[in-house]
Amino acid sequence: MIPAAIREPVIVGRGLTQVYGAATVLDDVDIRIDPGEVRALIGSNGAGKSTLVKILTGAVRPTAGTVEVVGQQVHLGSPSEMIGRGVACIYQHSNLAPALSVLDNIFLGRNPTRRLGLVDRPRQRREAQALLARHGIQIDLDVPAGSLPAVKQKEVEILKALALDAKVLLMDEPTGWLASADVANLHATIRKLKGQGVGILYISHMLDEVFAICDTMTILRDGRVVAENAVADISRARAIELMIGRQLAAQTKEASEARVSRMTGSVRLKARGLARNGVFSGVDIDLNAGEILCITGLIGSKRTELVRAIFGCESLDAGSIEIDGAPIAVKSPSEAIAAGIGLVPEDRHRDGLMLGLSVSENLMMATLGRFRRGLLLDRGGMATAARRLIASLNVKPASETRQVRLLSGGNQQKVLLGKWLDGRPGILMLDEPTVGVDVGAKAEIYDILRAARDEGAAILVVSSDIEEVLAIGDRVGVMSAGRLVSVHPAKALTASSLVTMIGEAA
């Protein structure tokens, strides 16, 4: 168990319960974080993590339970009260004003003022510099926040929280969009905060990170705490088992061990010398029918740009692409789709889904042509096809008329994937297909991709997740600074050899 706290815990929640109608989504949950403790909060989608975080940020008022911050009972359901007490939250997506400077972002909304309400900029700068020095963070205060790399933006958000004198930092999937090297940087920052006595609740789907950075973990399943452990006392396999239940855990393991040497079919997509000035160059790709080719590398290695260019979103300055031996010039996504290529973009909310439209409409969005009957749209046919896909993808709830907005992240991702999977086995490119998706849905998505591959689809996956690359890839390419450095059969790789390779390539 956790060593007895010498100091008073920074935050204690007791008996937190949240009931919505007939559903109890959080059931008598206790949570406690000591100063300098990094506590992981893990669980599948639907386990109650988000609700717990919302209670701690004051976004929702629980049905029952109490929260104390540094020994003082707080009034629940008030975000301003929680912030005032020093509970800050860093969300997965950036909450910065991109055009404002780092300095302005840090003090956004509560700038120190002089007489007449004028902003006291010298004081602001002094305070910010003191903050940087105290926490050992290096960042240029005068550049626009939006111009910084993602990991630095996270640091700005952390600084913003620290400027509020935060005692508790809730971090919701803080590394969701970061590459592995940047994750290490962020973790270094977290360790510094630990040293300052900040208590951190680290919510993540990435068990690697949890084991790397956290001291303790609280595992939620179906709204209850199923385990509270020191990270050192629990194995990874046991943690997964607790999160998703024993049976599903076994299935996931089986699937990843079932990888065999595979015979692949003919070359579907052949690219030679692809280049976009100043972005990537000299990229050759042979993507075969019946294989999954993963491209990994650090963020900034231009993998996303490469697949977007192949898909016709951005133009190529040089190079040729052949599909099934026939040269084609793709100038727009509609031409790429006509040539049998699909793309699942990285940011599903920004680029992928129409959240206000139904599951059926989203699933059929890329293949509407199939449902054209003269000038009309065959809505009945769409619904039938959608129901079939929903069943095969195991989308929950299984309703084709439901707004996609109301689905969980994992199910939204299945819908996004599903829109390319009905009909002919084509060429499918996926950019970070399981970002922000829970372990259970991840396993399902892998199964879906493997099944499509086995039916003959040619699949290219861009991923920063080493575990994922090794779990689903038949071949793995490493990209660095706009070049595809090398391609290897996956069975020749181990996690450590791949990490080394990525590091050396960069």
Q: Is 129 in the site for another protein (CB under 8 A)?
A: no
Round to the nearest angstrom and report the end-to-end CA distance of the chain: 41
d(CA 46, CA 25): 8
d(CA 98, CA 174): 18
Q: Which of 353, 390, 435, 490 binds another protein (CB under 8 A)?
A: 353
With CB under 8 A as the rule, give the number of residues binding another protein.
Answer: 43
d(CA 20, CA 39): 27
Task: Give the residues across from 458 on adjacent strands.
Answer: 291, 427
Q: Which stretch binds another protein (CB under 8 A): 31-39, 50-58, 246-254, 284-292?
A: 50-58
**Distances from the Cα of 204 to the Cα of 146, 172, 217, 339, 494, angstroms:** 24, 7, 11, 38, 24
The phi and psi torsions of 255 (rounded to 5 degrees) equal: -60, -40
Q: Is 20 in the site for another protein (CB under 8 A)?
A: yes
| Residues of this chain, 405-424, that bind another protein according to CB under 8 A | 406-408, 419
Q: Which of 141, 255, 313, 487 binds another protein (CB under 8 A)?
A: 313
| Residues of this chain, 53-82, that bind another protein according to CB under 8 A | 54, 60
d(CA 291, CA 306): 19
Residue with Cβ nearer another protein (86 or 440): 440
Report the nearest approach of another protein to the CB of residue 149 (Å): 22
Site map 264..303 versus another protein, x via CB under 8 A: ----------------------------------------
CB proximity list for 155: less than 8 A, separation 6 or greater? 137, 139, 186, 189
With residues binned 3-state (H G I as helix, E B as strand, rest as coil), the percentages for the chain, rounded to 5, are 40, 25, 35
Within 10 angstroms of residue 392's Cβ, the number of other Cβ atoms is 14
Residue with Cβ nearer another protein (145 or 341): 341
Grouping H, G, I as helix, E, B as strand and the rest as coil, residue 386 is helix
Q: Is 93 in the site for another protein (CB under 8 A)?
A: no
Q: Which two tokens stand for residue 378?
A: 């065959």
Q: Which stretch binds another protein (CB under 8 A): 42-50, 121-129, 205-213, 231-239?
A: 42-50
Report the nearest approach of another protein to the CB of residue 386 (Å): 13
* Beta strand extents in 360-465 (DSSP E only): 372-373, 376-377, 427-431, 458-462
Q: Which stretch binds another protein (CB under 8 A): 125-133, 150-158, 371-379, 466-474?
A: 371-379
Residue with Cβ nearer another protein (25 or 481): 25
Residue with Cβ nearer another protein (431 or 468): 431
Contact residues for another protein, defined by CB under 8 A = 18, 20-21, 23, 25, 46, 48, 50-51, 54, 60, 223, 311, 313, 333-334, 336-338, 343, 345, 350-357, 361, 365-366, 368, 371-372, 375-377, 379, 406-408, 419
